[in-house]
Amino acid sequence: METKIQGWAAVAIAVVLIGVRLMTIGPSDDPRLHAAVKAELANDLGNQLGKTLDAHDGAWGEQDMQRLVDLADRNAIMVLSTKVSKPLLSLGDSDKVVVQVRYSLPEQAARQEYWRFSHSLLSGWRVRSRHSSALSYYLNFL
């Protein structure tokens, strides 16, 4: 015997599935997540400044040095927003978290990227990869 879902029943099922999915995706104001993102960005910024210093062969003027100091200021890194997407059945710890990160660095326009994180109550937020996609973010429900 074959069961077919028709009409309003199909719409109701779709609404319930979308509602359940929306419960596992959304903004996060967790200061520990923001700190993990900021630490990763500060590390990258430090690497970029190191390369700039290595590549420079002339004398540094006072303005050049002040600009480098301003660029290296960790407080100038702004984490504008984070949105977390967890698998549907993750109740606590999760190794499959995709985070939509929106940030700005000194003298650069705001950017939005998708990063893979793991999260546990013991170790907190850990960056696993800075290479993910919007598709992974929205389909991260299994």
pLDDT tens digits for the chain (142 residues)?
555 667 777 777 766 666 555 555 666 778 999 999 999 999 888 887 877 777 776 677 777 777 777 777 888 899 999 999 888 766 666 668 899 999 998 888 999 999 999 888 788 899 999 999 999 988 887 6
**Residue range(s) defining the domain that contains residue 34:** 28-138
74 belongs to a structural domain: yes
Does residue 79 sit in helix, strand or coil?
strand
20 belongs to a structural domain: no
The answer to whether 112 and 101 are in contact (CB under 8 A) is: yes
132 belongs to a structural domain: yes
127 belongs to a structural domain: yes
Q: Are strands 111-120 and 124-129 parallel, antiparallel or unpaired?
A: antiparallel
118 belongs to a structural domain: yes
The tally of domains found in the chain comes to 1
Predicted TM-score (pTM) of the model is 0.73
